[in-house]
Amino acid sequence: MLISLGVLGLVLALVAGGGLWFLSDRYAGNIDRVAGVFSDLDDETRPASATPSEERGEDPVTFLLVGSDTRSKPGPGELPDGRSDAIMLARFSADRQHAQLISIPRDSWVDIPGHGRNKINASYAFGGPSLLIQTVEQLTRVRIDHYVAIDFDGLIQVTDDLGGVDVVVAETTTNGRFTFPSGVNHLSGEQARWYVGQRHGLPGGDFDRVRRQQ
Protein backbone atom coordinates (compact mmCIF):
# COMPACT_ATOMS: atom_id res chain seq x y z
CA MET A 1 0.00 0.00 0.00
CA LEU A 2 1.06 3.58 -0.64
CA ILE A 3 0.02 6.64 1.28
CA SER A 4 1.17 10.26 1.37
CA LEU A 5 2.52 11.89 4.50
CA GLY A 6 0.15 12.89 7.26
CA VAL A 7 -3.11 11.31 6.06
CA LEU A 8 -3.25 7.76 7.43
CA GLY A 9 -5.75 8.48 10.22
CA LEU A 10 -8.22 10.41 8.10
CA VAL A 11 -8.17 7.98 5.20
CA LEU A 12 -8.65 4.96 7.42
CA ALA A 13 -11.53 6.76 9.10
CA LEU A 14 -13.09 7.24 5.67
CA VAL A 15 -12.74 3.66 4.47
CA ALA A 16 -13.01 1.70 7.70
CA GLY A 17 -15.08 3.66 10.19
CA GLY A 18 -14.93 1.72 13.44
CA GLY A 19 -11.94 -0.31 12.23
CA LEU A 20 -9.59 2.68 12.52
CA TRP A 21 -7.58 1.41 15.49
CA PHE A 22 -7.26 -2.11 14.06
CA LEU A 23 -6.05 -0.94 10.66
CA SER A 24 -3.66 1.64 12.12
CA ASP A 25 -2.11 -0.99 14.37
CA ARG A 26 -2.06 -3.69 11.66
CA TYR A 27 -0.68 -1.69 8.73
CA ALA A 28 1.40 1.14 10.19
CA GLY A 29 4.61 -0.68 9.28
CA ASN A 30 3.44 -1.80 5.83
CA ILE A 31 2.56 1.56 4.32
CA ASP A 32 4.99 3.28 1.97
CA ARG A 33 5.17 7.05 2.26
CA VAL A 34 5.16 8.57 -1.22
CA ALA A 35 7.60 11.47 -1.18
CA GLY A 36 7.68 14.37 -3.62
CA VAL A 37 4.23 13.81 -5.11
CA PHE A 38 3.38 17.53 -5.01
CA SER A 39 6.89 19.02 -5.19
CA ASP A 40 7.02 19.20 -8.99
CA LEU A 41 3.64 20.93 -9.36
CA ASP A 42 3.57 24.66 -10.17
CA ASP A 43 1.63 26.19 -7.29
CA GLU A 44 0.72 29.27 -9.32
CA THR A 45 -1.17 27.23 -11.91
CA ARG A 46 -2.96 24.97 -9.43
CA PRO A 47 -6.57 25.58 -8.28
CA ALA A 48 -7.00 27.76 -5.20
CA SER A 49 -7.18 26.11 -1.78
CA ALA A 50 -10.58 25.51 -0.25
CA THR A 51 -12.08 28.35 1.77
CA PRO A 52 -11.61 27.91 5.56
CA SER A 53 -14.68 27.44 7.71
CA GLU A 54 -15.75 30.63 9.49
CA GLU A 55 -16.82 28.62 12.52
CA ARG A 56 -13.68 26.50 12.96
CA GLY A 57 -11.11 28.32 10.88
CA GLU A 58 -10.05 25.05 9.25
CA ASP A 59 -9.86 24.07 5.59
CA PRO A 60 -11.84 21.29 3.96
CA VAL A 61 -9.39 18.56 2.95
CA THR A 62 -9.40 16.81 -0.44
CA PHE A 63 -7.82 13.42 -1.16
CA LEU A 64 -7.14 11.77 -4.49
CA LEU A 65 -7.82 8.06 -3.92
CA VAL A 66 -6.33 5.74 -6.54
CA GLY A 67 -6.63 2.02 -7.08
CA SER A 68 -3.89 0.91 -9.46
CA ASP A 69 -3.34 -2.29 -11.41
CA THR A 70 0.37 -2.09 -10.62
CA ARG A 71 1.76 -5.52 -9.78
CA SER A 72 5.22 -4.47 -8.61
CA LYS A 73 6.47 -1.53 -6.60
CA PRO A 74 8.54 0.98 -8.59
CA GLY A 75 12.13 1.51 -7.51
CA PRO A 76 13.63 4.89 -6.63
CA GLY A 77 13.07 7.32 -9.49
CA GLU A 78 10.96 4.81 -11.45
CA LEU A 79 7.39 5.37 -12.64
CA PRO A 80 4.59 2.88 -11.90
CA ASP A 81 4.25 0.02 -14.40
CA GLY A 82 0.44 0.13 -14.44
CA ARG A 83 -2.49 2.48 -14.83
CA SER A 84 -4.90 4.00 -12.34
CA ASP A 85 -7.78 1.53 -12.35
CA ALA A 86 -9.98 3.56 -9.98
CA ILE A 87 -9.87 7.33 -9.45
CA MET A 88 -11.89 9.06 -6.73
CA LEU A 89 -11.97 12.47 -5.09
CA ALA A 90 -12.87 12.46 -1.39
CA ARG A 91 -13.42 15.71 0.48
CA PHE A 92 -13.73 16.06 4.25
CA SER A 93 -15.70 19.03 5.50
CA ALA A 94 -14.01 21.61 7.73
CA ASP A 95 -15.63 20.09 10.84
CA ARG A 96 -14.31 16.63 9.78
CA GLN A 97 -17.78 15.16 10.35
CA HIS A 98 -18.83 14.73 6.71
CA ALA A 99 -17.24 13.42 3.54
CA GLN A 100 -18.15 13.59 -0.13
CA LEU A 101 -16.93 11.03 -2.66
CA ILE A 102 -17.05 11.20 -6.46
CA SER A 103 -15.47 8.92 -9.04
CA ILE A 104 -13.84 9.78 -12.35
CA PRO A 105 -14.30 6.93 -14.85
CA ARG A 106 -10.89 5.66 -15.90
CA ASP A 107 -11.76 5.85 -19.61
CA SER A 108 -12.66 9.56 -19.47
CA TRP A 109 -11.06 11.30 -22.47
CA VAL A 110 -9.20 14.34 -21.13
CA ASP A 111 -6.27 16.67 -21.76
CA ILE A 112 -3.12 15.33 -20.08
CA PRO A 113 -0.51 18.08 -19.59
CA GLY A 114 2.37 17.51 -22.01
CA HIS A 115 0.74 14.48 -23.63
CA GLY A 116 -2.35 15.72 -25.46
CA ARG A 117 -5.72 14.03 -25.18
CA ASN A 118 -5.93 10.48 -23.84
CA LYS A 119 -7.77 8.38 -21.30
CA ILE A 120 -7.30 9.85 -17.84
CA ASN A 121 -5.78 6.66 -16.43
CA ALA A 122 -2.92 6.97 -18.93
CA SER A 123 -1.62 10.00 -17.00
CA TYR A 124 -0.57 7.68 -14.18
CA ALA A 125 1.47 5.56 -16.57
CA PHE A 126 2.95 8.62 -18.31
CA GLY A 127 4.02 10.53 -15.21
CA GLY A 128 3.05 8.72 -12.03
CA PRO A 129 1.05 10.30 -9.19
CA SER A 130 2.22 13.86 -9.91
CA LEU A 131 0.89 13.91 -13.47
CA LEU A 132 -2.33 12.22 -12.41
CA ILE A 133 -2.86 14.90 -9.76
CA GLN A 134 -2.12 17.64 -12.27
CA THR A 135 -4.56 16.11 -14.76
CA VAL A 136 -7.37 15.73 -12.22
CA GLU A 137 -6.87 19.27 -10.90
CA GLN A 138 -6.96 20.66 -14.45
CA LEU A 139 -10.14 18.69 -15.18
CA THR A 140 -12.06 19.43 -11.98
CA ARG A 141 -10.55 22.76 -10.85
CA VAL A 142 -10.39 21.23 -7.36
CA ARG A 143 -7.11 21.45 -5.44
CA ILE A 144 -5.90 18.09 -4.15
CA ASP A 145 -4.26 18.12 -0.72
CA HIS A 146 -3.25 14.47 -0.30
CA TYR A 147 -2.68 11.42 -2.46
CA VAL A 148 -3.45 7.81 -1.47
CA ALA A 149 -3.06 4.64 -3.55
CA ILE A 150 -3.69 0.95 -3.09
CA ASP A 151 -2.77 -1.87 -5.47
CA PHE A 152 -4.20 -5.37 -6.02
CA ASP A 153 -2.11 -6.94 -3.27
CA GLY A 154 -3.12 -4.25 -0.78
CA LEU A 155 -6.81 -4.67 -1.58
CA ILE A 156 -6.62 -8.43 -1.12
CA GLN A 157 -4.64 -8.17 2.13
CA VAL A 158 -6.87 -5.57 3.77
CA THR A 159 -10.06 -7.44 2.82
CA ASP A 160 -8.77 -10.77 4.15
CA ASP A 161 -7.46 -9.25 7.38
CA LEU A 162 -10.88 -7.70 8.01
CA GLY A 163 -12.45 -11.14 7.62
CA GLY A 164 -13.98 -10.38 4.23
CA VAL A 165 -16.59 -7.84 3.21
CA ASP A 166 -20.33 -8.06 2.53
CA VAL A 167 -21.64 -6.57 -0.72
CA VAL A 168 -25.12 -6.55 -2.22
CA VAL A 169 -25.16 -7.68 -5.86
CA ALA A 170 -28.13 -6.47 -7.92
CA GLU A 171 -27.88 -9.12 -10.66
CA THR A 172 -25.86 -12.32 -10.87
CA THR A 173 -22.57 -11.78 -12.72
CA THR A 174 -19.40 -13.76 -13.36
CA ASN A 175 -15.83 -12.51 -13.65
CA GLY A 176 -12.88 -14.85 -13.98
CA ARG A 177 -13.46 -17.97 -11.94
CA PHE A 178 -15.91 -16.28 -9.56
CA THR A 179 -19.69 -15.96 -9.83
CA PHE A 180 -21.45 -13.32 -7.72
CA PRO A 181 -25.13 -14.29 -7.26
CA SER A 182 -27.75 -11.62 -6.71
CA GLY A 183 -28.20 -10.69 -3.07
CA VAL A 184 -25.67 -10.46 -0.25
CA ASN A 185 -22.23 -11.89 -1.00
CA HIS A 186 -19.45 -12.29 1.58
CA LEU A 187 -16.24 -11.75 -0.39
CA SER A 188 -12.69 -12.80 0.40
CA GLY A 189 -9.80 -10.61 -0.71
CA GLU A 190 -9.31 -12.48 -3.99
CA GLN A 191 -13.04 -12.37 -4.71
CA ALA A 192 -13.16 -8.65 -3.93
CA ARG A 193 -10.30 -8.02 -6.36
CA TRP A 194 -12.29 -9.70 -9.17
CA TYR A 195 -15.54 -8.06 -8.08
CA VAL A 196 -14.24 -4.47 -8.27
CA GLY A 197 -12.26 -5.24 -11.44
CA GLN A 198 -15.16 -6.52 -13.53
CA ARG A 199 -15.56 -4.53 -16.75
CA HIS A 200 -17.92 -6.64 -18.89
CA GLY A 201 -21.33 -8.15 -18.26
CA LEU A 202 -22.60 -5.30 -16.06
CA PRO A 203 -25.91 -3.65 -17.10
CA GLY A 204 -24.54 -0.15 -16.48
CA GLY A 205 -21.11 -0.87 -17.93
CA ASP A 206 -18.31 1.21 -16.46
CA PHE A 207 -20.75 3.17 -14.29
CA ASP A 208 -21.64 -0.05 -12.45
CA ARG A 209 -17.94 -0.78 -12.11
CA VAL A 210 -17.42 2.62 -10.50
CA ARG A 211 -20.23 1.92 -8.01
CA ARG A 212 -18.58 -1.35 -7.07
CA GLN A 213 -15.26 0.39 -6.47
CA GLN A 214 -16.89 2.96 -4.22
Q: Are 191 and 179 in contact (CB under 8 A)?
A: no
Percentages of the chain per state (helix, strand, coil), in multiples of 5:
35, 25, 40
- pLDDT recorded at residue 2: 45
Please give the pLDDT value at position 196. 86
The rounded distance, in Å, linking the Cα atoms of 96 and 177 is 41
Segments of the chain scoring below 70 in pLDDT: 1-33, 50-57, 69-84
Query: Residue 162: enclosing H or E segment and its boundaries?
Result: none
pLDDT of residue 11: 45
How far is residue 148's CA from residue 132's CA, in Å, rounded to a whole number?
12
CA distances from 139 to 18, 43, 131 (A): 34, 16, 12
Whole-number pLDDT of residue 17: 39
Question: What is the Cα–Cα distance from 88 to 147, expressed in whole angstroms?
Answer: 10
Degrees to nearest 5, angle at CA 81 with 78 and 82: 140
Q: What's the pLDDT at 48?
A: 86
Distance CA 187, CA 191 (A): 5
The domains of the chain, with CATH numbers, are: 2-154 (3.30.420), 163-213 (no CATH)
Query: What whole-number distance in Å separates Cα of residue 31 and Cα of residue 120?
Result: 26
- Supply the pLDDT for residue 142: 93
What pLDDT is attached to residue 73? 55
pLDDT digits 0-9 by tens, 147-200: 988 888 888 888 898 899 999 998 899 999 999 999 999 999 999 989 988 878
Say if residues 151 and 66 touch (Cβ distance below 8 Å). Answer: no
Q: How many angstroms separate the CA atoms of 18 and 67, rounded?
A: 22
Helices marked H in 82-179 — which ranges? 122-140, 152-161
Q: In the prediction, which pLDDT does 83 show?
A: 57
